[in-house]
Amino acid sequence: MEPIEKFLEVWRHRHDYARDWKARTGGKVVGYFCTYVPEEILYTADILPVRILGGHEPPNLASPHVFDMWCPFCRDCLSQGLAEKYDYLDGIMIAQSCLHVRQAFGAWEIHIPTPWKYYLCMPNAVRSPRAKPFLAGELASFKEAVEEWTGKPITDEALDKGIEIMNTNRRLMKQVYEFRKEDIPPVIGTEAMMMVWASQLMDKREHNELLKQFVEELPNRKLERDPGIRLMIVGSENDDRPFMEMVESIGGIFVIEDHCTGSRYFWDEVVPGEDRISAIANRYCDRIPCPSKDWGATDWQRKRFPHILNLAREYRAEGVILTQQKFCDPHECDIPSLRRYLEDNGLPCYFLEFEVTVPVGQFRIRVEAFLEQIRAEELFV
């Protein structure tokens, strides 16, 4: 099976994959909300971290627990849990992030039987000099909790192994992304994101093997398509494959993105250090932040904006689609400023609000108009 086919299969049949993994390895599976969860420590203990994602189905089961002003993603995730789709989980955890996802975790803790639960108090002020030592303390407590749960001590060697698994995964995905800079990228945006989605769902050691194969194949991979208009997509959680495919079927190609289901997830590595826990803490404080944590302790400027602009330039994006999950406050706070920032730097933007299911027909018309706008600008340059 080709790596891309395998990524698609894991994404489609994520629960079967996790059940099968448990049967094969006898290991524990922990579901996690938010990409601030330090997967390094879970891998250290031979635990499979699986990101809780929605099912893109109406989140009816969540309605008695979370009312409708909360983001569709958190309601969808909770609904999937209440529907017992994640009944194989041995544990569930969250790293402190936005209120929406915390809302889903809060209800999950009460209503969905899961043997082990953990709330990791990830600092909000990640750019404060006080955040890294505080997080290191939180991670040390987390490590102890995992040791107690599994009954196995976590050694420095094991931490090195966990860090290496994660860093290899990040490095290989970045290598794949390098190919997206080409004039005719051999990998389209939907495929690239599917690769990232799969990495959040499957054992990274297996994912790494697929990535190595993929990196080897890419120089010879030719796509039978006009590359189209090079786009960047930016926003909150996005695993909406029908939307991505639709845009890439009407003359656009996503060459880069900034999503927690995309580059933001893996862009930064752990820089190894003598104190492994501090090294991991540094990585999670220094990573490209989620907007919910993107404010300085002593200045208001956002770290994410110049990073997004740099990505857009490096990957030669001609336009940016800004998306957000409806009701996502952190992104809603950033989007008016981000739009101005990108447009002032010559990048046309188009904004779309996502729900659990997106109206692909309507969005198609709107994106077509945006692509025409970009083409028209090219004509008159």
Partner 1 sequence: MAETKYHTKGLECWDKAKELRTKYYKDYAKAHDRGALRWEGGAWSFDALPQALEGEVHPLTEEPYGASVGADPETQVRYQEAAEGKWGCARDLCAYLRSYWGSIILDEYFFGGKWPKADFIFQNHICCSHGKWLQVVAELEGGQIPYFCFDVGAGPYDKIGERQINYVVEQLYDGIEFLEKTTGRKIVDEKLIQNVYNTYRSACYWSKVCELNQAIPAPLDEKSMYSLYVLGTLQKSSQEIADFYVELYEEVKERVANQIAAVGNERCRVLGDSQPPWGFLRILRYMEEYGIVSIGSLYTFSLIGWWQIDDDGNLVPYPTLEDQGITIKDREHALRLLAEGELRGKLMWAPFYGAKFKNELVKKIARQWKCDAAMIHLNRGCEGTAMHQMELKIALAETGLPVMTYEGNMADEREFDEARDMRLIDLFLTETMGLKKLAD
Question: Looking at 27, 58, 137, 348, which residue binds partner 1 (CB under 8 A)?
Answer: 137
In one-letter notation, the amino acid at residue 101 is V
Q: How far is the CB of 272 from partner 1 (least distance, A)?
A: 25
53-72 positions binding partner 1, by CB under 8 A:
64-67, 69-70
CB-wise, 314 or 332, nearer to partner 1? 332
Residues 6+ apart with CB under 8 A from 166: 39, 40, 43, 204, 269, 270
Of 116-124, 236-244, 268-276, 361-369, the segment contacting partner 1 by CB under 8 A is 116-124
Q: Are 159 and 146 in contact (CB under 8 A)?
A: no
What six digits make up the tokens of 338?
A: 């981000």
Q: How far is the CB of 234 from partner 1 (least distance, A)?
A: 16
CB-wise, 55 or 137, nearer to partner 1? 137
318-377 positions binding partner 1, by CB under 8 A:
326-327, 329-330, 332-337, 339
Of 43-51, 118-126, 175-183, 233-241, the segment contacting partner 1 by CB under 8 A is 118-126
CA distance 88 to 69: 30
Question: Looking at 13, 16, 84, 130, which residue binds partner 1 (CB under 8 A)?
Answer: 130
Size of the site for partner 1 (CB under 8 A): 48
Check binding of 17 to partner 1 (CB under 8 A): no
Q: How far is the CB of 347 from partner 1 (least distance, A)?
A: 16
Q: Are 33 and 112 in contact (CB under 8 A)?
A: no
CB-wise, 226 or 299, nearer to partner 1? 299
Q: Are 53 and 34 in contact (CB under 8 A)?
A: no
Check binding of 105 to partner 1 (CB under 8 A): yes
CA distance 48 to 57: 25
Q: Are 345 and 309 in contact (CB under 8 A)?
A: yes
* Cα–Cα distances in angstroms (integers) from residue 21 to residues 17, 18, 50, in the given order: 6, 5, 11
Q: Return the number of other C-beta atoms located less than 10 Å from residue 273's C-beta.
A: 12
Q: How far is the CB of 259 from partner 1 (least distance, A)?
A: 18
Q: Are 94 and 66 in contact (CB under 8 A)?
A: no
The sheet with strand 116-120 has its strands ordered as 47-51, 28-33, 91-95, 116-120
CB-wise, 254 or 327, nearer to partner 1? 327
Question: Looking at 99, 145, 250, 360, which residue binds partner 1 (CB under 8 A)?
Answer: 99
Q: Are 355 and 72 in contact (CB under 8 A)?
A: yes
CB-wise, 189 or 319, nearer to partner 1? 319
Q: Which of 291, 323, 285, 325 minimizes the C-alpha distance to 305? A: 291
For residue 60, how many C-alpha atoms fall within 13 Å in the half-sphere facing its CB? 3
283-312 positions binding partner 1, by CB under 8 A:
291-292, 295-300, 302
List residues binding partner 1 (CB under 8 A).
64-67, 69-70, 96, 98-100, 102-103, 105-107, 109-110, 119, 121, 123-125, 128-131, 134, 137, 291-292, 295-300, 302, 326-327, 329-330, 332-337, 339
